[in-house]
Chains A and B, each alone.
Chain A
Amino acid sequence: MEGLRQDDPPRIGEFLTLARLDPAARRDVPERRYLARSADGSRTVLISLPLQGADPGRWAAEAQWAAKLAQPGLWPVAQVGGSAAFPWLASPYRPALPLPEAIDAHGGPLPEEAVRTLGAALAESLASAHVLGVVHGGLCPASVLLTAYGPLVSCFGAVRAAAPDGMPRTGLPGIDAGCLAPESGTGGPVQAPSDVYALGAVLAYAATGHTVPERAEIPAGLRAPITACLSRDPAARPEPAQVLAQLAPGAAWGTQHAGAEPVSLPGRVVAALSLQAAAVLAAELPEVR
């Protein structure tokens, strides 16, 4: 969480912005995300806008789709608003740290056990989405929001929103290059294996601090599942359910994704979550202009 800057919108729809979720210096964030509050003070939300230079129409279409989903492990979108040129989406606020902020707070890559828990939750979420034919298409470190109850994946459809199939997507705004499956980068359709590639990149990031690690950097226990996910050939990548089985052997289905029970998080990540929650609780609306 960081203070607003000059070029940040003071008002988005019925909401007044309070702070940025992501620091301005953070690269590879697919959306502009703010903590905001309705003018009567009653609703505090996390609100997202497309990046400058992105196609707002394609972005809004993905937001509309996300608002209709109620997938376990996906960040819920409660409201889509704005205009064709300036769309936004909003969700009720809850304390959440983007994975890069969590790793900064922790002071470096997460311990292997924490990466396993994270990976199992994400793999299970992808698996239950893929069963219904839903491909997330936006998984990357910044899209993973860590909450007290586990990780929730936001930025639904960021890769699809960047450009239609058939057009190269590498280097477009809203795309984290390290998480872009090779076939999606060259204009191929965004399909379930693309999500698995992004899952591998996110786990590599959690374990090493970057999305394109040397094999040797990855902790030995995680090496096999992560490198399998990062295969260049989509057909060679495992199903999310297989990744889940490797990361959390013997876990009952439906117990890994962010849910009803608080999860274990490193102390400094909890401290950063608490700090954010306390700041948002204490925040007063800015002067209405």
Chain B
Amino acid sequence: MPTALLHDDPHTVGPYLLLARLGGGGMGTVYLARTAGGRTVALKVLHQRLTADTALRHRFRLEADAARVIGGRHGAQVHDADPDAPRPWLATEYVLGPPLDDAVEAAGPLPERSVRALGAALAQGLAQLHRSEVVHRDLKPSNVLVTAAGPKIIDFGVAHAVGEAPLTQAGAAVGTPAFMSPEQASGGEHAAAGDVFALGGLLVFAAAGHGPFGSGQPTDLLYRVRYTEADLGGVPPELVPVLSRALAKDPAQRPTTEDLAAALAPDGIPQVFADVLPDGVLRMVAQRGDEVWRQPPRLAPPPPDAPPGPVTLPGGPGPSRRRMLAMTAGGVVAGAGVAGGLWAWLGRGGGPGGGDPAPKPVKPPTRLWTFAARTPDRDGQVLSTRHGLAMPGGIVLCGVNPESGEGTWQANVSDAWRWATDGTDIYALREHDKGKKLAVCLLDPADGQPGEPLVELAEFVGGENRNQLLCVVKKTAYLVARAVNRDRWYVVALDLRTGRVRWRTQVDAAADGYLPPMLRGVVIGDRLVVSRSDSGIHFVNVTSYALADGKRLWTLSSPFSGEPPSELVVDDRYAYLTDEAVSALKLSDGESGWLFGNDRNVGGSAGQSRVYGAPALHDGVLYCTEGDRGLVALDAVTGSLNWAEKGLKGRRLSREVPPVVGRKYVYSLDDKGLRAVDIRSRTAVWTFPTDATVVTADRERGRLYLREQQATFALPLA
């Protein structure tokens, strides 16, 4: 039965958004969870505190394997699993049926024909498991779910891993040795025949409503399992002989699973299993299929000032639905089913994240499209050109139709630093003539294939994969390349129309040998501004070159504690760096223009020395995150504070991904997803759950592109 999430539950696990809790125990928690495509699953997640235990991780993997072995007919269909994830998880179908112990408790002992069909189906399931040399070792009523299509065996191995600790809900038959085999109770090996013994006991429970050895203290139960005869009181007489044999103390005397199935159902299991289920159990089955669609709100307890029920019709203005109900129902109370359905409608929306103190929460937008990456890739911007979008997808560059999100082409250009766009076309660095020459090509907008080289340079090493295309502006390509002789690196301005090198200027090599020159370059006015932040060296190095002749105008080195900035933010006056403070460097001479934030108390920032996140510049205002407190907007000319985000708590803000500025909202990533901060109210109005690591704005098309590990998707930019 789904219950609301607790506040320390993760928001997402793997590709799943968690919706509700289904159960928990010593080793893991089972959640109701959903993929981006809306598939709803039961997701078992190993406890955080156990993830370092390699033996438990191994157990978890075995469980996933066993669940796959039994398959969807006799068990819960496995959709996906990742036992190697930081928090290992296993996603299976959400099984529509009550556990056998609940069913017997609510509907009473099952009639004989139900017990026969149930026993024969379970024996077949065990047979399938045993054929793959897996032994369940913990078969008991709470581990069997009764569905309209037959019983399903769940929970493999985890309970065993933690010994006697009860895993699931309390109850006479659960977490006690009531269904153990004698060999298991005496510490011996519980093989396939042990599962048969447990099945015998389970069928006694189904037929009579009590376990074969009663209930009580574990030590008493263990004694009775080993030494006393099973109590078959209340079992229909025709079932007594077969169940007695299954409960024989000597494993060799017990029937095989095949014998047991044949003895229980000599004519086979009924074609439609639901035919043998009593009305009470059928009702529970139908109820489970219905109520999974009507979950409680995602988080418990609900935010204190959130409305207790649905207030507005989704997407529609006008009088509230609540008022409509009052006006038209004329005092007739809406059926519980109606109210429940609407709860589900609003409760499953995925945002606006629980507990947000936003005064006017707005529904987050829905995805316009999703482009699934064939191989995981979470780096690299989404480039927008006149012809469409281009983004790295694993080992290739992918062209994507901006309207539909369909992939249109793939180009064999792997490294994100080897291609650039001037807003219209995409250019890429290639090696030519077997690596002897460095070439610049235009990618065909229709199929992404590189055309004939626009320029070939024999004086640079074509096969050097650290060569970089910084940018292309006005048909001039600016690149960083290694010269053939003397192994030196140059910043090069290359006229793509004439194929001539307009200028080249040598780049200083770092003192400790030259690390890959991860440079960013932008052309602003009459300068090329290049920044370099070699990984491992906590400095950012900014150099300005004259566009006309490549003369180095100034260079400065500034300590920098965070990840190297992925983009250099400059305007015609300053270059902006954000770290422990926000600083503006004059483009004319590299001197400091203004400094913001070195005297501000920003509260704790969770051990991060980097206080200010990567900035974004828009209409003369510089936006960036400040600690974990929210966004700040600064006047780019003076460095004075325009406004700071209000009321944000309990988030870890991204320091690496710059915000994106729209007309109504500033978008910023945090550990809960993409947050939209209303520019007028300066508060977050919604959070779109995502673990994206790249957010790109496409102002021309009014889109935001977000890149997650497996997919890129588009949201409207407002």
A residues in contact (CB < 8 Å) with B? 14, 37-44, 67-73, 76, 78-81, 91-95, 128, 132, 147-149, 152, 257-260, 262-265, 267-268, 270-271, 273-275, 277-278, 281-285, 287-289
Inter-chain contact B93/A282, CB cutoff 8 Å: yes
Inter-chain contact B39/A281, CB cutoff 8 Å: yes
Complex: chain A residue closest to B370, CB-CB:
A288
B604 sits at the interface (CB 8 A): no
Q: Which residues 322-365 of B have a CB within 8 angstroms of A?
A: 324-325, 328-330, 332-338, 341-342, 344-345, 348-350
The 9 closest A-B pairs by CB, nearest first: A41-B38, A148-B286, A267-B274, A284-B37, A277-B289, A271-B148, A260-B336, A271-B274, A285-B37
> What is the bound-complex CA distance between A107 and B139, given in angstroms?
35
> What is the bound-complex CA distance between A91 and B350, given in angstroms?
18
Cβ–Cβ < 8 Å partners of A258 in chain B:
335, 337
Contacts A270-B282, A288-B405, A289-B404; A44 near B293 (Cβ below 8 A): yes
Partner of B366 from A14, A78, A128 at Cβ < 8 Å? A14
Beyond contacts A78-B342, A79-B315, A91-B341: 10 other A-B pairs, Cβ-Cβ < 8 A, are A41-B36, A78-B341, A79-B316, A92-B341, A147-B290, A258-B335, A259-B336, A262-B284, A270-B274, A284-B38
Partner of B148 from A43, A93, A94, A270 at Cβ < 8 Å? A270
A-B contact pairs, 15 of them (CB 8 A): A38-B38, A40-B366, A42-B34, A70-B332, A72-B332, A92-B342, A94-B341, A147-B290, A260-B335, A271-B149, A271-B274, A274-B96, A278-B93, A281-B39, A285-B36
B294, B337, B406: most-surrounded residue (chain A CB, <10 A): B337
Cβ–Cβ < 8 Å partners of A79 in chain B:
313-316
Inter-chain contact B293/A148, CB cutoff 8 Å: no
Partner of B332 from A37, A71, A284 at Cβ < 8 Å? A71
> What is the bound-complex CA distance between A227 and B327, given in angstroms?
37
Partner of B94 from A273, A275, A281 at Cβ < 8 Å? A281
B438 sits at the interface (CB 8 A): no
Complex: chain A residue closest to B96, CB-CB:
A274
Inter-chain contact B342/A281, CB cutoff 8 Å: no
Inter-chain contact A70/B325, CB cutoff 8 Å: yes
Partner of B96 from A41, A92, A260, A277 at Cβ < 8 Å? A277
B residues in contact (CB < 8 Å) with A? 34-41, 77, 79, 93-94, 96-97, 147-149, 272-277, 279, 282-287, 289-290, 292-294, 313-316, 324-325, 328-330, 332-338, 341-342, 344-345, 348-350, 366-370, 404-406
> What is the bound-complex CA distance between A70 and B335, given in angstroms?
8
Cβ–Cβ < 8 Å partners of B328 in chain A:
68-70
> What is the bound-complex CA distance between A274 and B147, given in angstroms?
8
Contacts A68-B324, A68-B328, A148-B289; A288 near B404 (Cβ below 8 A): yes
Complex: chain A residue closest to B270, CB-CB:
A267
> What is the bound-complex CA distance between A100 and B362, given in angstroms?
41
Cβ–Cβ < 8 Å partners of A68 in chain B:
324, 328
Inter-chain contact B277/A267, CB cutoff 8 Å: yes
Cβ–Cβ < 8 Å partners of A273 in chain B:
148, 286, 289
Contacts A39-B367, A282-B39, A282-B93; A152 near B337 (Cβ below 8 A): yes
> What is the bound-complex CA distance between A67 and B318, given in angstroms?
13
Inter-chain contact A44/B335, CB cutoff 8 Å: no
Inter-chain contact B38/A92, CB cutoff 8 Å: no
Partner of B335 from A93, A259, A275 at Cβ < 8 Å? A259
Inter-chain contact A267/B282, CB cutoff 8 Å: yes
A80 → chain B, closest Cβ, in Å?
A: 8
> What is the bound-complex CA distance between A260 and B339, given in angstroms?
10
Inter-chain contact B342/A76, CB cutoff 8 Å: yes
Cβ–Cβ < 8 Å partners of B289 in chain A:
95, 148, 273-274, 277-278
Total A-B contacts with CB atoms under 8 angstroms apart:
191
Inter-chain contact A95/B38, CB cutoff 8 Å: no
Contacts A270-B285, A271-B272; A92 near B337 (Cβ below 8 A): no
Cβ–Cβ < 8 Å partners of A274 in chain B:
96-97, 147-149, 285-286, 289
Contacts A14-B366, A71-B332; A284 near B35 (Cβ below 8 A): yes
Cβ–Cβ < 8 Å partners of B36 in chain A:
40-41, 285
Complex: chain A residue closest to B95, CB-CB:
A278
B41, B290, B348: most-surrounded residue (chain A CB, <10 A): B290
B274, B314, B349: most-surrounded residue (chain A CB, <10 A): B274
Complex: chain B residue closest to A72, CB-CB:
B335
Cβ–Cβ < 8 Å partners of A128 in chain B:
332
A44 → chain B, closest Cβ, in Å?
A: 6
Inter-chain contact A70/B93, CB cutoff 8 Å: no
Inter-chain contact B148/A267, CB cutoff 8 Å: yes
Partner of A94 from B39, B147, B290, B334 at Cβ < 8 Å? B290
Inter-chain contact B324/A149, CB cutoff 8 Å: no
Complex: chain B residue closest to A264, CB-CB:
B279
> What is the bound-complex CA distance between A216 and B260, given in angstroms?
48
Inter-chain contact B282/A132, CB cutoff 8 Å: no
Cβ–Cβ < 8 Å partners of B345 in chain A:
43, 78, 92
> What is the bound-complex CA distance between A41 and B19, given in angstroms?
12
Cβ–Cβ < 8 Å partners of B277 in chain A:
267, 270
> What is the bound-complex CA distance between A278 and B36, given in angstroms?
18
Contacts A267-B277, A271-B272, A274-B147; A70 near B406 (Cβ below 8 A): no
Cβ–Cβ < 8 Å partners of B348 in chain A:
42-43
> What is the bound-complex CA distance between A68 and B330, given in angstroms?
12
Partner of B293 from A70, A95, A264, A287 at Cβ < 8 Å? A95
Complex: chain B residue closest to A287, CB-CB:
B406
> What is the bound-complex CA distance between A268 and B277, given in angstroms?
10
Partner of A260 from B41, B147, B337 at Cβ < 8 Å? B337
A94 → chain B, closest Cβ, in Å?
A: 5
> What is the bound-complex CA distance between A191 and B613, given in angstroms?
67
Complex: chain A residue closest to B77, CB-CB:
A282
> What is the bound-complex CA distance between A42 and B372, given in angstroms?
18
> What is the bound-complex CA distance between A39 and B328, given in angstroms?
32
Complex: chain B residue closest to A288, CB-CB:
B369
> What is the bound-complex CA distance between A288 and B403, given in angstroms?
10
Cβ–Cβ < 8 Å partners of B341 in chain A:
76, 78, 91-92, 94
Cβ–Cβ < 8 Å partners of B313 in chain A:
67, 78-79
Inter-chain contact B35/A262, CB cutoff 8 Å: no
Complex: chain A residue closest to B93, CB-CB:
A282
Contacts A274-B149, A278-B96; A267 near B272 (Cβ below 8 A): yes
Inter-chain contact A262/B337, CB cutoff 8 Å: no
